[in-house]
Structure 1
């Protein structure tokens, strides 16, 4: 890591937008430069100017290009011109670009070394994208948010050396996340859940990727062996809501499944849950698992994608789309006696693998970062 004796330099962070989890992604990467001589300028390709986003970006400067989705289709020439102008405005040493469009624009608009961060599967399944990044391999380092994402990129880009496609985990400000939490009682009151119920929590869009159908089936199978009055509480909205409610009714558990809808600042209320279950189909990472662990809530997840990497050793795993195995995992969790010991193990794993401090240490060992020392 650079020392304070070096002259001040700038890092350019380029994001597609700040919707959903991507504002926190910007914060995570800006935080990697805290305590160094480098200042961070974060540029959002889409999204209107927002004082709250400025504050949440943890950056020295924030620029909103405010392009519409339509304007960033095709060749993106206007975006390339704007980023070229910004890159020429000061002494930038490095660009960090999140998702493919910003990587594309950054490589064409600047001559900077680029760290391209990928948060999803399937990015380089397209031949056109593989051909494009191969042109810039000499100044491009690709990061996946999990080993699962990294390994898929390595398979798609088989001619790249492994050290040019690495993993840098998403992370959480553990202390800040814990400080946001409300008490179990206040969380239950806010979500309309009874204080004496044993509650299985789930948070996510009601979408096939999240596979809440398997979650409902597994919960229904486990329910006779769970504590009396147990509930499944699903926080989120989406196009499958009616179908999922119909499934709960068909399985005879409609009275035990609560659809909470979209909850603002939902992670504040995670202490309402006794266990958190994520049934997603190949989750690239599973940030919500970190939030559950920070709240001290034991986690169960599918044994695939990045979620496995998050909770392996401190949480329950079950095969994708296997409700009977999920049911067994729920029953086992309901029988755990020493919850405090498990909470300590989860907190230790967060600090060791998924905290800002742990990931910062890993970040400064990456190949392109050696050039900044």
Structure 2
């Protein structure tokens, strides 16, 4: 089966990394189109043997990109076009349908309560999303929260399948040598207590809340380590200076080796206003870290003593950080979490979904042909009716 994945960009981010891991495990022949900004994740995908094409879009409203994408899809004669992230959905779904692609679907990674991929949910944004959704056969929601938000937005529930994001648990295992190397490279004392967070620097992540909560605790033996880049960087640096914490807060920028960065930490904090899944929290847990988080749909209904939910308040977060500093928790990976989120099982479920949807479309086409034959006076044809998609099983963790 030939599958084309279309994604808005391939800079470092949760959806982009999920796509890279999916491609490393799919059993199908895959290719990727990035609408623009084929960044570091594109290099990872290419290095693993999957071709990546950069469409080179220069603006959100570059209508000529629709033609370029249609021509590329038509030439490739793909069985499946799978779109990721808002802008690629708007362009790829109609382009794929116009090119005659048998199966068109999308994964919805980032629909929040008020924003979709950091853009406000205006009437225009919603109208474009729902108009392009009509060209799609199905949408994968990465969590039940995402599914509920999609239905509330107007996507038919019957067209949504929940398949969670996945984690390669073994690749995130704690490495003492990496811990020492990262700390030495950033001037962090080997015996310091390090509070960390990883991800795109944007206001939703509330890195400033983490710094404010930690500021009274900081000193030579307590540091905050911020890994990531984004539009909120300069504001965060200024806010850190205003809190008098600049000497003890390290902004590390983008770092490709997530496992090594997590190894350098003693506690992980995720202080987002809203999340659709909470991938970074799972990555931290896979590294054996204790976690403080404000919201993480991936942990809804999962009981684990390794992660504690806190309100988005600096005083409450500070109390939890102080408790962990005074009584550091040993590293341990919670099996109860990763029974659900092994990446191999997630990729297998996605591949299975392609096959189910294509089979359902073939059966529907046969029924239409049978009805046409009857209407023309031919013999009645007893054709099987399509079976519904099988329910999504809970993925099992990969063997380490």
The reply to whether residue 145 of structure 1 matches residue 142 of structure 2 is yes
What secondary structure does 2:69 align onto? helix
Distance 1:180 1:199, change over 3 A: closer
Give unmatched runs, 5+ long, in structure 2: 360-400
- Deviation at 1:28? 2.9
What secondary structure does 1:20 align onto? coil
- Deviation at 1:138? 6.8
Distance 1:349 1:241, change over 3 A: same
Moved more, 308-317 or 290-299: 308-317
- Deviation at 1:189? 0.8
Please say if residues 145 and 168 of structure 1, whose CA atoms lie closer than 8 Å, have aligned partners that are also in contact: yes
**Corresponding residue for residue 349 of structure 1:** 337
The reply to whether residue 328 of structure 1 matches residue 328 of structure 2 is no
The reply to whether residue 64 of structure 1 matches residue 60 of structure 2 is no
TM-score, length-scaled by structure 1: 0.77
**Corresponding residue for residue 271 of structure 1:** 263
Please say if residues 146 and 167 of structure 1, whose CA atoms lie closer than 8 Å, have aligned partners that are also in contact: yes
**Corresponding residue for residue 317 of structure 1:** 309
The reply to whether residue 125 of structure 1 matches residue 111 of structure 2 is no
Please say if residues 202 and 278 of structure 1, whose CA atoms lie closer than 8 Å, have aligned partners that are also in contact: yes
The separation in 1 between residues aligned to 2:169 and 2:277, in whole angstroms, is 17
Q: Deviations over 1:69-98 (max 9, x none)?
A: 23x525x2x322222223223442221101
- Deviation at 1:274? 0.8
What secondary structure does 1:114 align onto? strand
Q: Deviations over 1:240-278 (max 9, x none)?
A: 1343223432xxx555x3223315325222211111111
**Corresponding residue for residue 178 of structure 2:** 183
Please say if residues 33 and 53 of structure 2, whose CA atoms lie closer than 8 Å, have aligned partners that are also in contact: yes
The separation in 1 between residues aligned to 2:125 and 2:141, in whole angstroms, is 16
Please say if residues 4 and 31 of structure 2, whose CA atoms lie closer than 8 Å, have aligned partners that are also in contact: yes
2:18 to 13, 25, 39: 25
2:213 to 218, 232, 257: 218
Q: Deviations over 1:35-86 (max 9, x none)?
A: xxx3112122224699x8355257765242432323x525x2x322222223
What secondary structure does 1:300 align onto? strand
2:240 to 238, 245, 248: 245
**Corresponding residue for residue 96 of structure 1:** 82
**Corresponding residue for residue 4 of structure 2:** 12
Please say if residues 189 and 221 of structure 2, whose CA atoms lie closer than 8 Å, have aligned partners that are also in contact: no
Give unmatched runs, 5+ long, in structure 1: 1-8
Distance 1:244 1:207, change over 3 A: farther
What secondary structure does 2:281 align onto? helix
What secondary structure does 2:274 align onto? coil
Distance 1:234 1:29, change over 3 A: closer
Whichever of the two has the greater Rg, that structure is: 2
Question: Number of aligned pairs?
Answer: 342
Distance 1:338 1:207, change over 3 A: closer
What secondary structure does 2:262 align onto? helix
